[in-house]
Amino acid sequence: MSRRFPIPRPAEDSRFTFGLVLDVAQVLAAHGYPSMAEPYDGCGPDLLALQQALFSLIYTANPPEEYES
């Protein structure tokens, strides 16, 4: 079974927004993890870390051979 991520990083991707990060944070909270969507100390750094983790999962600067044409 081959992986679907990471994908080649486009010059721009309107899908990767802060709203996406908040949606993922809300899904995590719905599964019992601490909420990042409500104000508390550390919310900003946690959301930034989540955004960076999602970016690293989704995109790659060096696509594997299976992505190359």
> Would you tell me how many other CB atoms lie within 10 Å of the CB of residue 13?
11
**pLDDT tens per residue, range 36-52:** 866 666 688 899 999 99
pLDDT at 69: 45
**pLDDT tens per residue, range 3-34:** 899 999 889 999 999 999 999 999 999 999 99
Q: Which residue has the higher pLDDT, 19 or 64?
A: 19
pLDDT at 1: 75
C-beta separation of 42 from 50 below 8 A: no
Q: Where are the alpha helices (DSSP H) in 1-69?
A: 18-30, 43-58
C-beta separation of 67 from 7 below 8 A: yes
